[in-house]
Structure 1
Amino acid sequence: MGDTAAEKSIGGSQKKRTKKHLVLAAVMLAMFMGAIEATIVSTAMPAIVADLGGFQLYSWVFSAYLLMNSVTVLIYGKLSDLFGRKPIMFFGVIIFLIGSTLCGFASSMKMLIIFRLIQGFGAGAVMPIATTIVGDIYTAEERAKIQGYLSSVWGISAITGPAVGGLLVQYVSWHYVFWINIPLGILSLAGLWLFLHENVEKKKHEIDYLGAILLTVAISSLMLVLVEGGSHWAWNSWQALSLFTLCGLTLAAFVFQEGRAKEPVMPFNIWKERSIFIANITSLTTGIMLIGISSFLPTFVQGVMEQTAIIAGFTLTTMSIGWPIASTMSGKMLISLGYRTTSIIGGVALVLGSIFFVTMSTSVGPIWAAAGSFIVGIGMGLTSTAFIVSIQSTVEWQQRGIATAANMFMRNLGNTIGAALLGGILNNRLSSYLNENAAEAGKKLTINSANILLNAKERAQLTETVREVLQNGLTLSLHTVYYVVLIFALISLILVFFIPKKGNSSV
């Protein structure tokens, strides 16, 4: 239903003038710019902290970017449906480049955090609209294959990001970690300007400003409490409770507003489509899984298996290899098997990969961790590609932007919820174990004592008993985290069985 009306709405002449493959190259360049940002900045952070100081604000360099990205993604998706993809994409990339330029000039950690907010404000437009542009210019059959190319961007960025970041920090300066975005962004803008042509219907729109404000406040308060709760604030503190209350009130007001707005920021009618509803809820659960694996797997490999940071990074990199491979495979699978069967196969892979982590121990070595990571990557690649192609084929052009953005928002939300939930589980389990075994260790051990395991020199200075207690505690705690990850993998698998059977033989 989505394609016939959608292609008519953007005009047949637009498809003739638009140079698809050159637009795809420009879109992939923009996505690469956004995707590499996470890995390249992570690599540079030790050098940034050494230069600027403010270690206590370390996490906010990432949280500020995530917060603003998550807050704006839905709003950009809706604006692209109203005014076209091209102007909104241009706006987002330009703001991202301004933020990147300013980040390179930051002279304090607080300045860097403010500039990261600006960068995140622009980044919210890049991923969803880039994916939506592909949905516009390619047919349903072509999208399945092209989405595999888009997913490969993540794999390439995951591999090249740490390497490029390390080289820039070592041989040039950490400032260039941000400035490297500028040529990439300019090339992307040039490609979109020259080769993407839209015929957007010119009419006066009634922008839902109140809905946008309520959504921003609701998401900001939720993200803020999930980032800070359990670490800087107790969950029952006045700060956390106030933000939860604010989130609840503004969310209720947002739902009410969307029901009466002529052009709502979030048209809830798209959630009535079962395939979209299931895809979005499953993206939430896989987002929780994703953050649980990527955040805590290196800790197990370094702290328990006593491997180097490079090997720990390799165990995660295999996920970024499996993901694009599966996304590319899914092109043919979606055509021959359909959305539902492809998603089910992906869901099974998520469960199998999670079982690897639950059964992980020192004796199996990092290859076991890398294998589990690769299989989870296969599951993520199959499910995420099936979801995006399914969503874009279900809705009309006028709703494709917000529908795509909603799916990406749910994964972002899953990442943030997962970081808070799984981080809390890890800390509570480790704290309890260390308190119970304090007598055996012969000294007072805290959660922060686990940091010693991640430094080879400091770890070597520990007594055998203390090291054993810390490693056993970390193993037990991380296994608890991975059991929760397995539960979410099983929930994801169960959910995809509810995807409608219609169209199961072809896309």
Structure 2
Amino acid sequence: MTTATGWAALLLGKNGLRSLALAGGVALHAINVYLVTTILPSVVKDIGGLDYYAWNTTLFVVASIIGSVLSAKCLTGLGPKLAYAVAGVIFAIGCGICSLAPDMGVLILGRTVQGLGGGLLFALPYSMIRLVFDEGLWPRAMALISGMWGAATLIGPAVGGVFAQYDAWRAAFWVLIPVTLVFMLLATLMLPKKSTEPRAKVSVPMVQLALLTAVVLAISLGSIKPSPLFNGLGLLVGLVLLYAVYRVEGSDKHRMLPKNSLSSHGALLPIYLSMSLMVIGMTSEVFVPYFLQVLHLQTPLVAGYIAALMAAGWTLGALYSSSLARESANRATLYGPVFVVVGLALACIFVPQTTGSLLSLCGVSVGMVCVGTGIGLAWPHLLTRVLANVPDAEKDIAGASITTVQLIATAIGAALAGMIANLAGFTTPGGVEGASSAAAWLFGLYALLSALLFITVRQVIRRDTVEGHVDRDVLLATEKPELP
């Protein structure tokens, strides 16, 4: 067994093919996220379904949560080779359904199937790293797989934009199928059939998963009609179900989060709240391509790339922030909410404009970058505090909780964004007038919601100062963010 730890050891020979297989799964999931965001305005123009615009994201993410949570059980029961193959088949079937969709209902069904397969493709590689590589290669393998999100911000909008501009959005889904089959074949050839580790019993928090799905569905159903009463009822039911999740999580032995995570006196609650508020603010990007095409008359390609500036800003902010010393890291964490709120405020000002001027487009772009940069500045240090504030026996569930919280916040944020947009006129009266009103309300309310970060982030810093120092080694190990 080789003990080499350099990039060459990871990227050449059999390890190179294994790396390609694992990174390819995450890349497929990530590229699909930005591809669909870019082509969705063209899809709605062709088959209708504007009322259900946000559902393409909400149900996709809910299914991704389920796939991600089930990945450990799938890996244990099927082994690496078969588990990866099953994930690929599910994802490819979802792509096929989307490509043939005659209406929005079928498309959403396909997106849900895609999300289940994508969640597995997203989570399995992280679990497989320790099974297929020597321990010395683990940090670089993690960095390689995480880096696929950065690549996706370049590839996804480009692929989606080209197909959308030629009115061939269905082909965008078809293209993903053979690429998925190639990675499946590579995984079948290069990954082990069975795990060499002893099988551990894997529990699945089914009650929490069911309740969280019901939360997102309640908010999404409430957004169908532009009626304040109907919307309010959906939101109320969603909040009641979210409280039920809180009660079950606090008492159930099959937990999604570390013990006492939701205690008002613990260190983890403000961290999770800060993470959630940041991710919810970012979900507004779902509507950005549509707003830019309708209000600013931009092409799908340009609109897709401007929307992706949030993710690009996140990556750049995290790369800068992750190597900061303790005091500087605390300052970066405190400055993060300022960037997020300012970015959303800029979007509230410039996105609703219909002048199509270069100034308004620059204002939108700066706003997108600010939101992402603010998240990136704080994100690495929030993640390290999650891991630093749990005992060693809970490190695994704490690590998994980072992705879980991020995905849950994404689903709830997208559902809430759909509710706000529809209530503000996105579908009625629709068109330029409706899109302008929806953009103003969506970014304005999300800027106000994100202002709560000034409270939660200060609580994070205060409790960390009181309870001790963050482990510097953990900080370096988690410098790369996971993008939604």
The TM-score with structure 1 as length reference comes to 0.70
* Number of corresponding residues: 449
Q: Is the contact between residue 285 and residue 491 of structure 1 (CA under 8 Å) also seen in structure 2?
A: no
Q: What code does the residue aligned with 2:428 have?
A: N
Q: 2:211 aligns with which of 213, 218, 238?
A: 218
When residues 403 and 481 of structure 1 are mapped into structure 2, their CA distance, relative to the original with a 3 A threshold, is same
Identity rate, percent: 20
Residue pairs, 1:86-235, within 5 angstroms? 88-133=83-128, 143=139, 149-169=144-164, 173-193=168-188, 200-203=196-199, 205=201, 208=203, 211-212=205-206, 214-232=207-225, 234-235=230-231
Q: What code does the residue aligned with 2:160 have?
A: G
Quote the offset at 1:34 in angstroms: 0.6
Quote the offset at 1:405 in angstroms: 3.5
Structure with bigger RCO (C-alpha 8 Å, 6+ apart): 1
**What is the RMSD computed on CA atoms of the aligned residues?**
4.7
Q: Name the residue aligned to 1:452.
A: 432
When residues 346 and 92 of structure 1 are mapped into structure 2, their CA distance, relative to the original with a 3 A threshold, is farther
Q: Is the contact between residue 215 and residue 239 of structure 2 (CA under 8 Å) also seen in structure 1?
A: yes
Q: Could you give the per-residue CA deviations for residues 190-236 of structure 1, whole angstroms, max 9, x where no partner exists?
A: 5545555685433473x546x42x12321111110122224437145
Q: Name the residue aligned to 1:351.
A: 338
Q: Is the contact between residue 42 and residue 167 of structure 2 (CA under 8 Å) also seen in structure 1?
A: no
CA distance in 2, matches of 1:101, 1:37: 13
CA distance in 2, matches of 1:400, 1:95: 30
When residues 132 and 371 of structure 1 are mapped into structure 2, their CA distance, relative to the original with a 3 A threshold, is farther
Q: Could you give the per-residue CA deviations for residues 343-378 of structure 1, whole angstroms, max 9, x where no partner exists?
A: 651551441243244254569533233223223323
Q: Name the residue aligned to 2:469.
A: 501
Q: Name the residue aligned to 1:26.
A: 21
When residues 355 and 15 of structure 1 are mapped into structure 2, their CA distance, relative to the original with a 3 A threshold, is closer
Quote the offset at 1:77 in angstroms: 4.8
Give unmatched runs, 5+ long, in structure 2.
Answer: 477-484
SS of the residue corresponding to residue 269 of structure 1 reads: coil
Quote the offset at 1:290 in angstroms: 0.7
When residues 254 and 403 of structure 1 are mapped into structure 2, their CA distance, relative to the original with a 3 A threshold, is closer
When residues 98 and 227 of structure 1 are mapped into structure 2, their CA distance, relative to the original with a 3 A threshold, is same
Q: Is the contact between residue 287 and residue 414 of structure 1 (CA under 8 Å) also seen in structure 2?
A: yes
When residues 387 and 101 of structure 1 are mapped into structure 2, their CA distance, relative to the original with a 3 A threshold, is farther
Q: What code does the residue aligned with 1:229 have?
A: G
CA distance in 2, matches of 1:57, 1:426: 11
Q: Which moved more, 1:193-202 or 1:93-102?
A: 193-202
CA distance in 1, matches of 2:331, 2:126: 23
CA distance in 2, matches of 1:141, 1:330: 24
CA distance in 1, matches of 2:452, 2:73: 30
Q: Name the residue aligned to 2:444.
A: 480
Structure 1 residue 44 corresponds to structure 2 residue 39: yes
When residues 195 and 379 of structure 1 are mapped into structure 2, their CA distance, relative to the original with a 3 A threshold, is farther
Q: 1:268 aligns with which of 253, 258, 262?
A: 258
Q: Which moved more, 1:104-113 or 1:241-250?
A: 241-250
Give unmatched runs, 5+ long, in structure 1.
Answer: 1-10, 432-445, 456-470
Quote the offset at 1:185 in angstroms: 2.6
Quote the offset at 1:284 in angstroms: 0.9
Q: What code does the residue aligned with 2:432 have?
A: I
Q: What code does the residue aligned with 1:354 have?
A: V
Q: 2:311 aligns with which of 295, 308, 320?
A: 320
Q: Is the contact between residue 30 and residue 184 of structure 1 (CA under 8 Å) also seen in structure 2?
A: no
Q: What code does the residue aligned with 2:112 have?
A: L
Q: Is the contact between residue 90 and residue 117 of structure 2 (CA under 8 Å) also seen in structure 1?
A: yes
